[in-house]
Amino acid sequence: MKFISKFSSRTVVMPTTDIDTDQIIPARFLTTTSKEGLGRYVFHDLRFNADGSEKQNFVLNTPAAQGCGILVGGHNFGCGSSREHAPWALLDYGIRAVVSTAIADIFKTNSLKNGLIPVVVDQVTHETLLQNPGMELTIDLEARSLTLANGRSVEFPVGGFARYCLLAGIDQLGYLQQHLNSIARFEESRSWTP
Amino acid sequence: MNQRKTLFDKVWNDHIVVAETADTPAVLYIDLHIIHEVTTPQAFSVLRDHKLPVRRPDLVLATLDHSTPTTPVSTFKDLAVVSEGALNQISQMEKNCAEFGIDLLGFDSANRGIVHVIGPELGATQPGKTIVCGDSHTSTHGAFGALAFGIGTTEVGHVLATQSLLQRKPKTFAINVDGTLPAGVTAKDLILAIIGMIGVDGGTGHVIEYRGDAITALDMEARMTICNMSIEAGARAGMIAPDATTYEYLNGLPRAPQADEWDAAVSRWRELCTDEGARFDKAITISATDLQPMVTFGTNPGMVVGINDAVPDNLSDPSFRKALDYMQIEVGKPMTGYDIDIVFIGSCTNSRLSDLQQAADVVAGRKIADGVRMLVVPGSQQIKKAAEDLGLDKIFMQAGAEWRESGCSMCIGMNGDTAGKGQLTVSTSNRNFEGRQGVGARTILASPMTAAASAIAGKVADPREYL
């Protein structure tokens, strides 16, 4: 996996609260057996009219949003289903980090497994970001920091293990496999069997 | 240190292969892995790429539900799958299961159905188990005192390969429900009221334990409805301590412990309750007694109101305004009276026999309103047959409803069962997100009784007027 721990990009802002995974990628696009190429479906029904033309007033379609790699979303971003297609689609579209005051559990876990950085910030910082779309931010996963255009930095929480795996390029499946002996011992020593 | 443990603590502790540390998450053993066609193909590809077998195919329960058609046919060979993609996904699932030695409850199986319906129905879902599935409504199985939660596809691969997951221990949240549910008010109304109270992020990072007289009075199907929607409050899982109701439900089911193992299992299950005085990270108490049927008015399950109450005014919040614009709902007046287009009875929330029975009781001897389409989609082929044995299919069809094969159907709308742009659906499912049931489709979540009453009235209706 190509993963760059520190990067800078402008933000695109979607202030709506509770942006769910059905918004991020509608269910009818989940009939795929691959992870690739899902970017074209990101926010599909907000982005496109029924005839396939772009909705001009949707933020991702505006000229200012082109090339933005950081999505600032409203509170409780990514709620809803467990579809990993949501982070796959965002990454394929070019989004590398999502910033909000709260990010739903399963979406957060799925994101970290794929190198999409979930950044939870305080309300004051969030409000600043919502009010200033297009701000150039720097996200540094190693330092767990988000730096605003004015130089102010805030620290964000991120699971140490997920962070370590991303930074060191460690495959979590490989890590689990190192414990296969313990797993076998656990299976043998249980007082009951499922 | 407080040695008194919650139900969650007990199940968690019983499955730790490697304890968590400051730097590393726990390795948690998984007892039952339920898989379906939509969130697994990429996981099987990883196994294939790494030349790995499925570690415990005997602990995998596989079926087809999400993208499968529910149109009635005389033979499953005639099923018309919605798209080439969906067809490919289904045949990929059949191929993957065959290749990796997993028994698939496919189109030819009388036990096929929605993942969260067939696990309990077969007795595979049991107290004290850890259960995962690439589907957020896996929380359903917590109704049996299992620790059950939804996972992403990468994690599906981890479980297939190692029967384990890397997990951080979540926090605990007690929701005590006192009192008694009044007539016409169901588990669905209770869980909608709870989500309205704590919010769609109220459970984030937590495992909820539902407790109290109103919970223990519920049958297993109602408990499943409660736990099912835990995820709609953002919770990792929902749990209810097993009791005599649980044992009675499981006794004799094909995958439940059999005769010689049954007593030992029950005595183990009896330990699965929260110790007196155990500490939860968070707790609330509510009363069931004053609840009324609940309906949603917005675009998330927390935007909910009593059937006779006025939709609240929170228009100063732009997200609230956007939701009501989408729904074409006005503040200050109740939901009753809005003309509806479709009624959907089904989904892992409300597609079990008691749900169908409650809806049938409302429509029996009546006709659904002109211009309203009503779909009844049983949660499994077993439920379909049981309902037909009771004559429920005829009650629905005589009222003018469509009686379907089992599947997720219009809950997620990826099999072709969808609502059109602007159409208003009263649905017994779990999500009223924008576009969830079709592009531009509008969804009101409700109980099976409220949905059935609305089908008769042709508009959102109070089921208590039809009892």
Please tell me whether residues B302 and B448 are part of one structural domain. Answer: yes
B386 within a domain of the structure (yes/no): yes
Number of residues in chain A = 194
Q: Domain range holding B380? A: 295-466
B258 within a domain of the structure (yes/no): no
Check if the interface score ipTM surpasses 0.90. Answer: yes
Domain count, chain B: 3
**Residue B135 predicted with pLDDT over 80:** yes
The pLDDT confidence band at residue B76, using thresholds 50, 70 and 90, is low
Q: Which residue of A has its CA nearest to B125?
A: A194
More confident residue, B74 or B19: B19
Q: Give the mean pLDDT of chain B.
A: 96
Stretch B313-342: mean pLDDT: 97
Could you tell me if residue A80 is left (phi over 0), alpha (psi between -120 and 50 degrees) or otherwise beta?
Answer: left
Q: What is the pLDDT of residue A183?
A: 98
Please tell me whether residues B303 and B201 are part of one structural domain. Answer: no
Pairwise CB contact (< 8 Å): A45 & B435:
yes
Please tell me whether residues B243 and B323 are part of one structural domain. Answer: no
Measure the CA–CA gap between B193 and B191, rounded to whole angstroms.
Answer: 5
Residues in chain B with CB shorter than 8 Å from the CB of A82 are 39, 134-136, 138, 150-152
The pLDDT confidence band at residue B331, using thresholds 50, 70 and 90, is very high
B255 within a domain of the structure (yes/no): no
Residues of chain A with confidence (pLDDT) below 70: 1-2
- Which residues of B, range 352-411, sit inside 8 Å of A by Cβ? none
Number of residues in chain B = 467
Pairwise CB contact (< 8 Å): B164 & A30:
no
CATH code, A117: 3.20.19.10
**Residue B72 predicted with pLDDT over 90:** no
Question: Closest to A33 (Cβ–Cβ): which among B89, B164, B236?
Answer: B89
A80 within a domain of the structure (yes/no): yes
A84 within a domain of the structure (yes/no): yes
CATH code, B38: 3.30.499.10
Please write the tens of the pLDDT for every residue from B400-454.
Answer: 999 999 999 999 999 989 999 999 999 999 999 999 999 999 999 999 999 999 9
According to DSSP, residue B67 is labeled S
The pLDDT confidence band at residue B64, using thresholds 50, 70 and 90, is very high
Q: What is the pLDDT of residue A56?
A: 95
Q: Domain range holding A70? A: 6-158
Over pLDDT 90: what percentage of chain B?
93
A18 within a domain of the structure (yes/no): yes
Residues in chain A with CB shorter than 8 Å from the CB of B18 are 179, 182
**Residue B165 predicted with pLDDT over 80:** yes
Please write the tens of the pLDDT for every residue from B229-278.
Answer: 999 999 999 999 999 999 999 999 999 999 889 999 999 999 999 999 99
Measure the CA–CA gap between B162 and A181, rounded to whole angstroms.
Answer: 10
CATH code, B246: 3.40.1060.10
Q: What is the pLDDT of residue B81?
A: 84
Of B121, B45, B39, B137, nearest to B414 (Cα)? B39
The pLDDT confidence band at residue B174, using thresholds 50, 70 and 90, is very high
**Which token pair is B334?**
């109740």
- In order, the DSSP letters of A20-38 are BHHHHS-GGGG--S-STTG
Domain count, chain A: 1
B329 within a domain of the structure (yes/no): yes
For CA atoms B330, B335, B341, B344, the dihedral sign is positive
**Residue B336 predicted with pLDDT over 90:** yes
Strands in chain A per DSSP E: 6-14, 70-73, 97-100, 117-120, 136-140, 145-147, 153-155
Please tell me whether residues B412 and B448 are part of one structural domain. Answer: yes
Please tell me whether residues B271 and B206 are part of one structural domain. Answer: yes
- The answer to whether the pTM exceeds 0.80 is yes
**Residue B1 predicted with pLDDT over 60:** no
Vertex B231 angle, CA A31 and A38, to 5°: 25
Amino acid at B47: L
Q: What is the pLDDT of residue B78?
A: 67
Pairwise CB contact (< 8 Å): A104 & B414:
no
Q: What is the pLDDT of residue B82?
A: 84
Residues in chain B with CB shorter than 8 Å from the CB of A104 are 201, 204, 234
Could you tell me if residue B234 is left (phi over 0), alpha (psi between -120 and 50 degrees) or otherwise beta?
Answer: left
